[in-house]
Structure 1
Amino acid sequence: MIRLAITIFCSLVVNITMAQELPKILSQKTNYLPDFSYAGYHLGESKLPENEGKIINAVDFGVKANDNLDDSKALLKALQAANAVDGNVILQLPAGRIILSDILYIERSNFVLRGTGSNEKGTEIYCPRPMMYLKDPESLAELREYLTSFDKRQCETENNIDLPFSQYAWSGGFIWTQIPNERVKSYLDKYEPEPNVLAKVSSGKMGEFIINVSQLNNLKVGDIVELQLFNKDGENGEIIKDLYQGAKVKPGSHHWKFPKLPIVRQQVEIAKIYGSKITLKTPLTISIKPSYQAQLVEWKHLNEVGIEHLRFTFPDIPRVAHHVEPGNNAIFLTRLFNSWVKNVKITNADSGILAEEVSNVTVQDIITDGPHLSHYTVTLGGVHNVLVKNLKIHNKAIHPLSFNTFSTKNVYQNCEIFEDALLDQHSGANHQNLFDNITVHITADKNNSFYLFGGGGADYWKPSHGPFSTFWNLNVQVSNPDQAKPVLLYGMKDGAFARIIGVHGNTKFEIKYDVDPYIEFLNTEIEKIPSLYEYQLKKRLE
């Protein structure tokens, strides 16, 4: 009888596990859940390529690993030779330590910078001194003027610090993708260019693909363009109310002080054109109304650029203060579409990988480590549909995972934070981003609580995020759990209508998150759907 009872009990446990219901938000129409499956290389529909093309070996141009001599000039010669190749080209770096003390600008499509691996036997790019000792990059001239014009300073009276911001606090990298002479980020109205307008957009519905247009100008199927929405109506502009869906938040002044600056933007591919209707390949993040004066404009960018199989090492220099970082930044991605970074390890960086004005890019299999306190690891600012997958963060960072200004429909998937975990949403009209199947390691404070949900950024760009930012299957591992009472996870004070589904771990949790979050499956792992991104992608492709 005892054996029979045990068998019946075990059978019940198995059946209960197998019968776990799915989160209700997947089927509800009243609680909107964005489709995040369009993030990544080629909308998530293609694997990252094992790129074929003409191989340019850096050693043929004087790059010699492990000789303790600077390789910058030889690397620039090898890059110049690669740029002269028509079609797909691979700049192949040798195994061993290469010393780099200048910026390598990748300025062409169909280009791969490839090492021999990110492990100890692979390719190491060693940067002995930060970018502050280099000639000022021309593309950051506007940023430098902005920082000085507004006297942007880091002031910490308790530490006797009153220092100007560095131009490299959130920009720049020793490997830098760009379109020459193309502005990447808006800082000053007087430099706002006249865009090449390809169509005026009057309407479209959030989550759908069709927009109504007029005044078409040489627009064709297959074009990659930027959709821009504006607030030209001041502090009470209709788009501000619609962007935050009526949430009880207080938008900062940058939402109306720069009427020439698009407040919402998406880089999109044109799928169909029929009369006054255009079908996009990706869904809208916000419904479009005539008052937004929306438009499709030309967007200059690079395609099929890859950076892979290498590691970056920086000296562990003393850290002075936040925002005054000297520029030990590994990779700066700008103006990219359908591109990737994979299998890269970064040690002692101020910022590992920074991104601005890129779309449908995959960053995967990244490790950051070292004793140096970083500003960012892999951060997403002003980007759309970017997938960061399998990022392991072993170092301490101010913003370990961060969705920054203007970031939309981006995904951190299967990432893990081992030190000082923080899930940051950094203000600036960012909305509809996904933390997917993330694992964090934390130590609860004396009140049995932990500041996990960060809301960084300046007051003039508050609130911390717009509607429908999502946390899915968040695994929280507490080093000192008190099983007698739940750990309180807190930090967010002004994030609108977040979706928090499946927070679980090695103890019980409570959540404090403002404003008006949707919370489901608290203290329950989502076993059937560990990744929302993968679930939505599979469903879409089927």
Structure 2
Amino acid sequence: MKKLFLTMSILALCSTTFAQKVSPLWTDFVEAKQAGKTPILPDFSFAGYHFSEKPIPEVSGKKVFNVVDYGAKPNDAEYDDEAIQRAINAAEKSKEGGVVFFPSGKFLIAADTDSTKYIRISKSNIILKGSGSGSGGTEIYQDKMRINGRQIQFKPTDLSAKKLTTITKDADRESFWVEVADVSALKVGQDVVIRHKSEEFTKIYFAPLQLKPEWSRLFGDKGGMLINEIHTIEKIEGNRVKFKNPLHFDLRIVKSAAFELAAYNYIEECGVEDILFTSNWKTYGEDFVHHKNAIHDYAWEAVGMEYVKNSWVRNCEFRDWNEGLYIRSGYQVSVLNVNFKGKKGHASVHARTGYGVLIKNCNFNNAQHHGAGTGYSAVGTVITQCTLGSDQNIDIHSGQPFATLYDDIKGGVFYNLGGPEPGHPHHGKHLVLWNFQHQSAKDQHYNFWDLNKRRNYTIAQPILVGFQSDHKVSFENVGINQDQGKQVLPKSLFEAQLTLRLTGKNTAK
């Protein structure tokens, strides 16, 4: 009987496997890459630490700065902010940086409500490492509320973005070359930002979709969709520049404003790992209500990473937070194996105004109103192989991010997307939902370009492939909707694109 059951199970598994269909959009992507043409799908493989081309380094062999040696004491009633900062300052004075190490125990921070106070990392090669995020590991606990004050901030001191040159010709989406007016300030290996903002280009980009007058940030002499796409220069030939990573929009020269190349200043090789972050939001005497007030939205905020390159957060847990992890202007950043738990709060992890932030193997557990999200000019954000709670919102927070992938996701919904109406649309082109498993308590209908409802969904022609749901879900104003109700191959678009780029192998054959 057991053998019969096992045989039937294997046959059922094989039947399911063979029934899966290779997505036509995947076939288009492979063939277009081989022919040197523009695929329908963006190439999302340029995401994560060093574009996922090498693993995050182990910290063994790096100089260690133990916070206890600088005055921190775990498991007592004293606050450890100053001692932790002293350890970080010592690591920053070291030529190679180092590991700021937290032994097992609970470390207290935030003795008062002054939101201008925080722990600051402003140089490269600094890693905050604990002794594990589970039982017997390291806990960092924010006591007092500090509204709009992230308690640990990675951020360089110099945020200037000097203009280097202008782009002089159109360039197509998914291409690598641009032509510029002057290459004298450019060099191979340099990181630059394609920067542009104009109403004229915005209308070209969204055409033929209608733009609502209430989206006021798009209009006027200083209005428009903000382009802020970060690239690394791989080659210079005459006045032509080749990037390592592709453009994710059709660059079209307009008369009203130039497309500039500007400097990108950053710190790099920074990390956070093996730490449990907790806060006193758990004991606040009210349950979370979205946008009730600043306390509910922003009183306890954990970690910010701004203008960081080739950096990471991994093997951590954020428990009882209004906001867990905020990434701004991040470039090649990985968030791996991170759990969000505890009393419900506002935002879990949010990536904006960067390129290639990878959020992978994370669990959101309905611990925040918003699951993993993006907004405000972010490009190439990848959320893959993650779980959200039933009816937990994905966060597309206005400000026209574009080329975002939600890939092999279990759980989550799209209603009540964030951001103020003047900053709509929520998303530009090429939001891709690949093998997304929608979970909700009731049926849902999504109109992705609804100009009538204030808090609805303004996403420009999204691409849905292998969309599945536990209740009936219907759509309007979709760009492409293929194979609804069926899982397609490849199961993970990100992993398949990465393998194709690095090895040339098509894993979905």
Band the TM-score falls in, shorter-chain normalisation:
0.7 to 0.9
Residue 359 of structure 1: CA displacement?
1.2
> After the TM superposition, which residues 148-297 of structure 1 pair with which residues of structure 2 at under 5 Å, given as runs?
168=148, 172-180=149-157, 182=159, 195-203=161-169, 204-231=171-198, 234=199, 237=200, 239-250=201-212, 252-257=215-220, 259=222, 263-291=226-254, 292-297=257-262
Alignment correspondent of 1:35: 43
Return the match for 2:265 from 264, 286, 300: 300
Q: CA, structure 1 residues 258+106, in 2 after alignment: closer, same or farther (shift >3 Å)? A: farther
Alignment correspondent of 1:335: 307
Residue 500 of structure 1: CA displacement?
0.8
Partner Cα separation in structure 1 for residue 85 and residue 499 of structure 2: 42
Return the match for 2:477 from 510, 515, 521: 515
Alignment correspondent of 2:93: 84
Q: CA, structure 1 residues 303+261, in 2 after alignment: closer, same or farther (shift >3 Å)? A: farther
Partner Cα separation in structure 2 for residue 502 and residue 209 of structure 1: 29
Q: CA, structure 1 residues 523+406, in 2 after alignment: closer, same or farther (shift >3 Å)? A: same
Return the match for 2:358 from 381, 387, 391: 387
Local SS of the residue matching 1:416: coil
Do the aligned residues in 2 keep the contact of 1:348 with 1:370 (CA within 8 Å)?
yes
Local SS of the residue matching 2:321: coil
Local SS of the residue matching 1:511: strand
Local SS of the residue matching 2:45: coil
Do the aligned residues in 2 keep the contact of 1:424 with 1:453 (CA within 8 Å)?
no
Task: In structure 1, give the amino acid aligned to 2:474.
Answer: I
Alignment correspondent of 1:3: none
Most deviating of 282-291 and 241-250: 241-250
Partner Cα separation in structure 1 for residue 225 and residue 191 of structure 2: 17
Do the aligned residues in 2 keep the contact of 1:385 with 1:410 (CA within 8 Å)?
yes
1:25 aligns with 2:30: no
Do the aligned residues in 2 keep the contact of 1:455 with 1:491 (CA within 8 Å)?
no
After superposition, the C-alpha distances for 1:48-98 in whole angstroms (9 at most, x for unaligned) are: 111341111111111111122211221122112111111141111111100
Partner Cα separation in structure 1 for residue 315 and residue 238 of structure 2: 45
Partner Cα separation in structure 1 for residue 336 and residue 426 of structure 2: 26
Return the match for 1:369 from 328, 331, 341: 341
Return the match for 2:497 from 536, 539, 542: 536
Alignment correspondent of 1:66: 75
Residue 44 of structure 1: CA displacement?
1.4
Task: In structure 1, give the amino acid aligned to 2:382.
Answer: V
After superposition, the C-alpha distances for 1:164-213 in whole angstroms (9 at most, x for unaligned) are: xxxx2xxx411101112537xxxxxxxxxxx4222211232111000011
Residue 495 of structure 1: CA displacement?
1.4
Q: CA, structure 1 residues 250+22, in 2 after alignment: closer, same or farther (shift >3 Å)? A: farther
Residue 31 of structure 1: CA displacement?
7.7
Do the aligned residues in 1 keep the contact of 2:91 with 2:97 (CA within 8 Å)?
no
Return the match for 1:423 from 376, 386, 394: 394
Partner Cα separation in structure 1 for residue 137 and residue 207 of structure 2: 50
Local SS of the residue matching 1:83: helix
Q: CA, structure 1 residues 305+260, in 2 after alignment: closer, same or farther (shift >3 Å)? A: farther
Partner Cα separation in structure 1 for residue 204 and residue 225 of structure 2: 15
Alignment correspondent of 1:439: 410
Partner Cα separation in structure 2 for residue 13 and residue 130 of structure 1: 51
Q: CA, structure 1 residues 489+123, in 2 after alignment: closer, same or farther (shift >3 Å)? A: farther
Return the match for 1:501 from 465, 470, 473: 465
Partner Cα separation in structure 2 for residue 44 and residue 311 of structure 1: 25
After superposition, the C-alpha distances for 1:369-416 in whole angstroms (9 at most, x for unaligned) are: 112x31100111222210011121124423223221111110111111
Do the aligned residues in 1 keep the contact of 2:202 with 2:224 (CA within 8 Å)?
no
Most deviating of 428-437 and 27-36: 27-36
Q: CA, structure 1 residues 73+17, in 2 after alignment: closer, same or farther (shift >3 Å)? A: closer
The gaps in structure 2 that reach 5 residues or longer are: 1-6, 33-37, 111-116, 451-457, 504-509
TM-score (norm 1): 0.80
Residue 229 of structure 1: CA displacement?
2.0
Residue 521 of structure 1: CA displacement?
1.4
Partner Cα separation in structure 2 for residue 320 and residue 475 of structure 1: 26
Alignment correspondent of 2:129: 114
RMSD between aligned alpha carbons?
2.6
Do the aligned residues in 2 keep the contact of 1:343 with 1:365 (CA within 8 Å)?
yes
After superposition, the C-alpha distances for 1:303-343 in whole angstroms (9 at most, x for unaligned) are: 10111110111111235761513531110110101111111
Local SS of the residue matching 1:124: strand
1:353 aligns with 2:325: yes
Do the aligned residues in 1 keep the contact of 2:305 with 2:326 (CA within 8 Å)?
yes
Residue 344 of structure 1: CA displacement?
1.1
The alignment-based identity, stated in percent, is: 26
Do the aligned residues in 2 keep the contact of 1:202 with 1:289 (CA within 8 Å)?
no
Residue 477 of structure 1: CA displacement?
4.6
Alignment correspondent of 1:324: 294
Return the match for 2:140 from 100, 125, 138: 125
Task: In structure 2, give the amino acid aligned to 1:79.
Answer: I
Task: In structure 2, give the amino acid aligned to 1:128.
Answer: D
Most deviating of 311-320 and 57-66: 311-320
Alignment correspondent of 1:189: none
Do the aligned residues in 1 keep the contact of 2:391 with 2:441 (CA within 8 Å)?
no
Local SS of the residue matching 1:392: coil
After superposition, the C-alpha distances for 1:112-166 in whole angstroms (9 at most, x for unaligned) are: 111111102111001111224xxxxxxxxxxxxxxxxxxxxxxxxxxxxxxxxxx
Q: CA, structure 1 residues 48+454, in 2 after alignment: closer, same or farther (shift >3 Å)? A: farther
The gaps in structure 1 that reach 5 residues or longer are: 1-6, 133-167, 184-194, 442-450, 481-486
Local SS of the residue matching 1:417: coil
